[in-house]
A and B are shown apart, each in its own frame.
Chain A
Amino acid sequence: MEEFLNKNIKYIIAQYPEVGKILERYNIGCTTCSVGSCLLKDIIEIHNLSPEVEAELLYEIERVVFPGKEVKKRPLRQRAVRPQGEIKYSPPIKKLVDEHVLIKRFIALIEPLCALVDSSKEPDFGLILDCVDFIRNYADKYHHLKEEDVLFKRIGEDLDIIKVMLEDHTTGRNHVKQIIEGARAKDKAWVIEHLKGYKELLTQHIKKEDEILYPWIDRGLSTSDVGKLYVEFSEKDASLPDDFQKRYQDFVKQVEDTLNKRR
């Protein structure tokens, strides 16, 4: 079993699809991950399972991987486990979670926006490009670069879980390029396909970060690390125009109002 704990999850699920179903039952969503390079042992570690739940999960996996073999439950691994329930973030990580709130408000607009584009004889591609400006400047330049330039460098860009997040960022940027190309070509289907692709990607990405990655990062940060991260994030924020936050909050509100009027 130790050998399996050191294998990547994509390989394990390909060999034993039942393991993917077991992980889903434990709310571990590796089956939908496009990369799957995380090791099984890291996946178990990162999800902050209680010792009892961890032992039960490993027992179920071991029975699938070694059918016919007598499998015994492992002794409980005693370690500090954060209480389940409401997630409490350190101040710098909370900043990132708070930025997700506006991005999620924007993501919620993508379906009605696609419906509007689809039903219009002459879609407002200018509005689409304004949305691209939000994605590029707020979601990507402001938020994702804070992760890429500061947080992920501190945590370790070589870690599999970080590689998955970076790959999500790259995939998101590719969707944005396609949205721009589609808008320039005035091709509704092209724009809609990649707007929806971006929506699906970011919805899962934010869920992974808020519920799994950020709490895991927080568990490993020392008090001193928290202070240093806070300073670095604050310096990034201070380098932006004073009205940056308000400008994009106003933009999302304006799109919400526009779409509400058309409903």
Chain B
Amino acid sequence: MHGHGMEGCPGSRMQDFRDNKETKGDESGKRASELRQWPIQLHLVSPMAPYYQKADVLLSADCVAYTVGDFHRDYLKGKSIAIACPKLDEGQEVYAEKIQSLIDDAKINTLTVMTMQVPCCAGLVATAQAGASQAKRKIPLKSIVVSLQGDVLSEEWVS
């Protein structure tokens, strides 16, 4: 991996992965999408939507799906999703309320938060925890952090 200039915020620092990209895994066949809903952006989704009721929900930072090669097969499959960017999205105060509503109204089974390793992304886990702490119901909440090249750095239950 080669880093190029632009010191400062790790979330926006330029990095070039082209030189160490060798194809790994089986590239044959066509993968079907595991997405089972629309919309997906957290501002746009309604916790009342049928696909959230009692579901295992994946709250993913926007960049994650571009980073993890088998995102659909390994993480999205079987789950309903919402995506958000804790760094750039506006009006994030409603995010915690939406998560609270997913837990209390949609009675979701679990919430898995996938974020990038960059520090600003941790804000999404904090938002999810804030929503969960406001909710009357308690559910298991998992945090998965992925590297800039799509490797899982940590996967743990946080509450």
B157 touches A88 (CB 8 A): yes
- Smallest beta-carbon distance B73→chain A, Å: 14
- Smallest beta-carbon distance B13→chain A, Å: 29
- Smallest beta-carbon distance A192→chain B, Å: 42
In whole angstroms, what is the CA distance A94 to B112 when docked?
A: 18
B138 at the interface (CB under 8 A from A): yes
B140 touches A90 (CB 8 A): yes
Given known contacts A92-B140, A223-B56, is B157 in contact with A228 (CB within 8 Å)? no
- Smallest Cβ-Cβ distance to B158: which chain A residue: A91
- Smallest beta-carbon distance A95→chain B, Å: 11
The A-contacting residues of B in range 113-145, CB under 8 angstroms, are 138-140, 142
A14 at the interface (CB under 8 A from B): no
Choose from B56, B156, B159 the contact partner of A227 (Cβ within 8 Å): B56
In whole angstroms, what is the CA distance A94 to B110 when docked?
A: 16
In whole angstroms, what is the CA distance A223 to B57 when docked?
A: 10
Give the residues in chain B near A53, CB-CB below 8 Å: none
B140 touches A230 (CB 8 A): yes
Given known contacts A88-B156, A88-B157, A91-B159, is B112 in contact with A223 (CB within 8 Å)? yes
A224 touches B140 (CB 8 A): no
- Report the interface size class on chain B: 10 to 19
**Interface size in chain A (residues, C-beta < 8 A):** 14
- Smallest beta-carbon distance B112→chain A, Å: 6
Give the residues in chain B near A92, CB-CB below 8 Å: 140
B157 touches A231 (CB 8 A): no
A227 touches B138 (CB 8 A): no
- Smallest Cβ-Cβ distance to B138: which chain A residue: A234
A226 at the interface (CB under 8 A from B): yes
B binding-site residues for A, Cβ under 8 Å: 56, 78-79, 108-110, 112, 138-140, 142, 156-157, 159
Could you show 9 A-B contacts with beta carbons less than 8 Å apart? A91-B157, A223-B79, A223-B140, A226-B110, A226-B140, A226-B157, A227-B56, A227-B108, A230-B140
A binding-site residues for B, Cβ under 8 Å: 88-92, 94, 223-224, 226-228, 230-231, 234
Closest CB pairs A-B (n = 10): A227-B109, A227-B110, A91-B140, A224-B56, A226-B140, A230-B140, A90-B157, A223-B110, A223-B56, A91-B157
| Known A227-B109, A231-B109; further 13 A-B contacts with Cβ < 8 A | A90-B157, A91-B159, A92-B140, A94-B157, A223-B56, A223-B110, A223-B112, A223-B142, A224-B56, A226-B110, A227-B56, A227-B108, A230-B140
